[in-house]
Structure 1
Amino acid sequence: MNLTEFRMTLRTLPFLDAHAHSPHGLLQLRARPTPRLLVWHPDAIEQIFRTDRQFHHPGSRSLMPLLGRSSLLWADGPRHPAYRGTLGPPLRNRGLASYRDAIADTVHSSIDELPTGRVIPLAEWTRQVALRVIAKIVLGRADDELLAPFIAWIDKALGSRSRTLYYRYLSGGLPGSGEQLDRLLIRAARASASANPPALAALLLTENGPLGEIDRTELRDQIVSLLFAGHETTASATAWTLYWLDRDERVRDDVLTELEATSDDGSDVTRVPLLQAVIQEALRLTPPVPAAGNRMLDRGGELLGRELPAGTILTPSIYLAHRRAEYFPRPRRFDPYRFLGRRVGPQHFFPFGGGARHCLGSQLSQLEARMITVALLRRRELRCVNPAAGVPRLRGHAMAPDSKLRMKVMRNLDD
């Protein structure tokens, strides 16, 4: 690892901020043994996403022990479209309607436990809610027997940045889940077909489907991947949405006015366009992950007039693409109105990645963020007690608010 890669690894966000004003939109992180480039120029991003199926998608060396070698997050070849074809339809457009009740029940039961005066660690609270939701969707259940050991394992691996770096570089990777938790997850997945409606995991077990029969290890890797990816990103987006609504009184008042004009619970995006814009702006400023995964050239190619040899690794930078001032004026300013009445191209705004690797759960994540935010705004008045803690921190490859960020329940609006 050279000095540039070391700086990016050790102080990722300051390193990225230092290059936010670069006009090139491309930074060489290393030249040997194979080149690695950080990319955020819109023309380059468009080219990468348009030709995504021509790349190899190497898995994360640090996350592989966590999610497993057969995780759908880095599946390649025919296995990848088979997973997308199996899991994609229920997670977008009309398929999401079947999850609305599960989301609402989980959200409202969680809000019921917030009395006046309660101070909550915001990022932790949104993670707990989002994990319960995705567990119901994937496994049909969200009880503590299953989720408590899962949370303990993820927090052990990702709860401390220094500990995560130790695991990654000095201990061979993040800690595995362990046989006991794996048994619980596999048993829950196999029982998922009896859930009403059938849980998402049941689709992985259809022997005559595009995936065929999958073994125990592959099943475990997919369940862990769905639970992990399905709650970390949603929790981050929701926490930042709530934080920015607290910090910007004008936007908060406009969103409350929008909610007064509808009884919708946030599931219909057309009824809450400003709230959706707030979520998009939160995703722009603080995307759930700062990079959109690695792409490796199987053969030589060209990017922005630069010849690249086979083996070159390209890493699209979501964080830097979202800070290009020529497309997002005053990019560090929170301004959700910039998304109203404006279609933003995927080469400029891609908080859930793009191309063939665009996140399957992007629509579900935004649906949850809207429903959680709407329910909270209608039922509780929250105020941030330590706004200076509203700074992004990395949890593995994910980016969330600092764990010290707190909100206090000032008033119960149900009374």
Structure 2
Amino acid sequence: MQLPNRLKTPSILQKLQWIIDPVKYMESAVQKYPDIFTGEVIGFGDTLVFINDPQAIKEILTNDKKKFVASSKENGILQPIVGDHSLMMLDGEYHKQRRQLLMPCFHGERMRAYGQLIIHLTENIFSPLPLNKPLSAHSAMQEISLQVILQAVFGFYEGERCQQLKYLIPNLVMELFRSPLISSFLFFRFLQQDLGSLTPWGKFLRLREQVDELLYAEIAERRQNLLPDRIDLLSLLMSAKDATAEGMTDPELRDELINLMVSGHETTATAIAWGLYWILKKPKVYERVLDELDSLGDSPDPMKIFQLPYLTAVCNETMRIYPIGIMTLPRVVQEPVEILGHQLEPGTKVIGCIYLAHQRPDLYPQPKEFKPERFLERQFSPYEFLPFGGGARGCIGQALATLEIKLVLATIISKYQMVLADQHPEKPKRRGVVVGPGNGVKIVITGQRIRQQSPTAMVTTPNLLV
């Protein structure tokens, strides 16, 4: 089969580079073939056609089940974590039904309830952090995002079982995501052997068993006392029935819970850490964000923070430079189709390359520069700016993630004075399926911040520290 713009690097070297440094892999390829190229990568069935032209991405994402279809088989690298029954691993009508069930939990009034919770959790986690000592912002963001998703999924962020999950979930994820070398266990099935508790895969399996024990205990407890007025995700899933009036089994519930916690934890924390890095790195951006936040007064409504235009632009620019997901989920060609002048035959696997679409100079002049203003000057289509993917497989938690990113950054920036501990540029590094800041964004908190008063207030309180 003739595929477009095949990279000439030997297959094994391509796969190794993809595991070690996916950003460099893509940037090298796009220098030779700007819009479309074929690579040999591991984790998605090897041969994959990368596309970053927005119009072509639109065609791929809006032709599900006609010219292209999304298949859960292409998500196999995460199966050891999320199981066989989660939304990520479902296809067809099962996927549609599960998605329809989950969508209301991430929209409307639920967002208002999450708003105050996010601010509260952020303050609780940041307030005890030491002053004048370097610390990892990424680690703090992981703690915040984990507590938020525990509240959304279970309706709690306190209690013994919650505390155990708060400890085990990050370890379960990070055991495979902490470095490109360890991440290779997700890509190479032959490495997935239990050779004892001291080996990476053996340790992962034992952590997974501990998490499963807690989840099944929570499910059993809920089944004995299912309260109809609870609106957390677990309660909603347990009360749901399919077309045959059957509810979800315990393994189905377990897999969905793991999927929600994993996908709503590391990804969001990474985006917030990148956002804080860019704000502290760019003094003018920092000042403008503070001015906009100060204009809302003390204790502003979370939804007013969410609607701030410049803060929104900063968050968008953060997710443009290093998007939460660097690619859409793969699609499989169903019938002969022409894309960008190339004929693709049935069975060809294509993928929308989010990272490269966000780096196109024809869309984003000086794409390596952090310029939030571009999102104030122009509205980008869902196929030019797509940090959460798109189509039928787009991120279901996009609304909650966006709210969390904005509110955590706003709370930290408005309440604390801080600087970057290391002025060297942060470089992207693979963390499982996410590209995160390699050094974790080291910061130093120098003290609490007092809100800048308006000119009128300054006249009446001239001695106020600002």
- Fold shared by both chains (TM-score > 0.5): yes
2:239 paired with 1:206: yes
Give the 3 Å change call, closer, same or farther, for CA 236–39 of structure 1 in structure 2. Answer: same
Q: How many residues align?
A: 414
Give the 3 Å change call, closer, same or farther, for CA 96–74 of structure 1 in structure 2. Answer: same
2:242 paired with 1:227: no
Decide whether the 8 Å contact of 1:288 with 1:398 is kept in 2.
yes
The residue aligned with 1:145 is 164
Decide whether the 8 Å contact of 1:98 with 1:197 is kept in 2.
no
2:191 paired with 1:171: yes
The residue aligned with 1:294 is 330
Residue 111 of structure 1 and its aligned partner are, at CA, apart by 1.8
Q: Judge which range, 306-315 or 322-331, deviates more.
A: 306-315
Residue 2 of structure 1 and its aligned partner are, at CA, apart by 4.8
CA deviation digits over 1:309-348, x for unaligned, max 9? 2211111111100000001000000000100152210111
2:262 paired with 1:242: no
Give the 3 Å change call, closer, same or farther, for CA 243–197 of structure 1 in structure 2. Answer: farther
| Partner SS for 1:52 | coil
2:76 paired with 1:61: yes
The residue aligned with 2:21 is 11
Residue 90 of structure 1 and its aligned partner are, at CA, apart by 2.1
Decide whether the 8 Å contact of 1:123 with 1:402 is kept in 2.
no
Within 1, Cα distance between the matches of 2:341 and 2:414?
A: 53
Residue 302 of structure 1 and its aligned partner are, at CA, apart by 2.8
CA deviation digits over 1:106-137, x for unaligned, max 9? 11211222242243211111111101111111
Decide whether the 8 Å contact of 1:389 with 1:402 is kept in 2.
no
List gaps (5 residues or longer) in structure 1.
none
Decide whether the 8 Å contact of 1:294 with 1:315 is kept in 2.
yes
Decide whether the 8 Å contact of 2:417 with 2:447 is kept in 1.
yes
Taking the TM superposition and a 5 Å limit, the aligned residue runs for 1:74-93 are: 74-93=89-108
Decide whether the 8 Å contact of 1:124 with 1:403 is kept in 2.
no
CA deviation digits over 1:188-234, x for unaligned, max 9? 35656659852112111124356941112211111011001111221
Decide whether the 8 Å contact of 1:42 with 1:321 is kept in 2.
yes
Decide whether the 8 Å contact of 2:274 with 2:441 is kept in 1.
no
Within 2, Cα distance between the matches of 1:409 and 1:360?
A: 34
Residue 413 of structure 1 and its aligned partner are, at CA, apart by 2.3
Q: Judge which range, 324-333 or 50-59, deviates more.
A: 50-59
Give the 3 Å change call, closer, same or farther, for CA 108–374 of structure 1 in structure 2. Answer: same
Decide whether the 8 Å contact of 1:237 with 1:288 is kept in 2.
yes
The residue aligned with 2:39 is 29
Give the 3 Å change call, closer, same or farther, for CA 402–26 of structure 1 in structure 2. Answer: same
2:88 paired with 1:52: no
Could you tell me which amino acid in structure 2 is paired with residue 105 of structure 1?
H
The residue aligned with 2:288 is 254
Within 2, Cα distance between the matches of 1:249 and 1:161?
A: 32
| Partner SS for 2:303 | coil
Decide whether the 8 Å contact of 1:246 with 1:383 is kept in 2.
yes
2:414 paired with 1:394: no
Could you tell me which amino acid in structure 2 is paired with residue 250 of structure 1?
K
| Partner SS for 2:39 | strand
Within 2, Cα distance between the matches of 1:108 and 1:138?
A: 21
CA deviation digits over 1:228-263, x for unaligned, max 9? 111122111111111000010011101111111113
Within 1, Cα distance between the matches of 2:12 and 2:171?
A: 34
Within 2, Cα distance between the matches of 1:373 and 1:196?
A: 32
Taking the TM superposition and a 5 Å limit, the aligned residue runs for 1:88-167 are: 88-142=103-157, 143-167=162-186
Within 2, Cα distance between the matches of 1:247 and 1:378?
A: 16
Decide whether the 8 Å contact of 2:79 with 2:89 is kept in 1.
no
2:67 paired with 1:41: no
| Partner SS for 2:346 | coil
- Structure 1 length normalisation: TM-score? 0.92
Decide whether the 8 Å contact of 1:35 with 1:311 is kept in 2.
no
Give the 3 Å change call, closer, same or farther, for CA 313–76 of structure 1 in structure 2. Answer: same
Give the 3 Å change call, closer, same or farther, for CA 198–404 of structure 1 in structure 2. Answer: closer
- Give me the CA root mean square deviation: 2.5
Residue 61 of structure 1 and its aligned partner are, at CA, apart by 2.7
Q: Judge which range, 13-22 or 280-289, deviates more.
A: 13-22
| Partner SS for 2:279 | helix
Decide whether the 8 Å contact of 1:391 with 1:402 is kept in 2.
yes
List gaps (5 residues or longer) in structure 2.
1-10, 194-200, 451-464
Within 2, Cα distance between the matches of 1:331 and 1:352?
A: 19
Give the 3 Å change call, closer, same or farther, for CA 306–269 of structure 1 in structure 2. Answer: farther
Residue 60 of structure 1 and its aligned partner are, at CA, apart by 2.4
Residue 378 of structure 1 and its aligned partner are, at CA, apart by 1.8
Decide whether the 8 Å contact of 1:189 with 1:202 is kept in 2.
no
Residue 101 of structure 1 and its aligned partner are, at CA, apart by 2.7
Residue 24 of structure 1 and its aligned partner are, at CA, apart by 3.8
Within 1, Cα distance between the matches of 2:81 and 2:323?
A: 22
Within 2, Cα distance between the matches of 1:18 and 1:320?
A: 11
2:410 paired with 1:374: yes
| Partner SS for 1:99 | helix
Decide whether the 8 Å contact of 1:96 with 1:364 is kept in 2.
yes
Residue 92 of structure 1 and its aligned partner are, at CA, apart by 2.3
Residue 267 of structure 1 and its aligned partner are, at CA, apart by 3.0
Give the 3 Å change call, closer, same or farther, for CA 103–115 of structure 1 in structure 2. Answer: same
Within 1, Cα distance between the matches of 2:177 and 2:412?
A: 27
- Structure 2 length normalisation: TM-score? 0.82
Greater Rg, structure 1 or structure 2?
A: 2
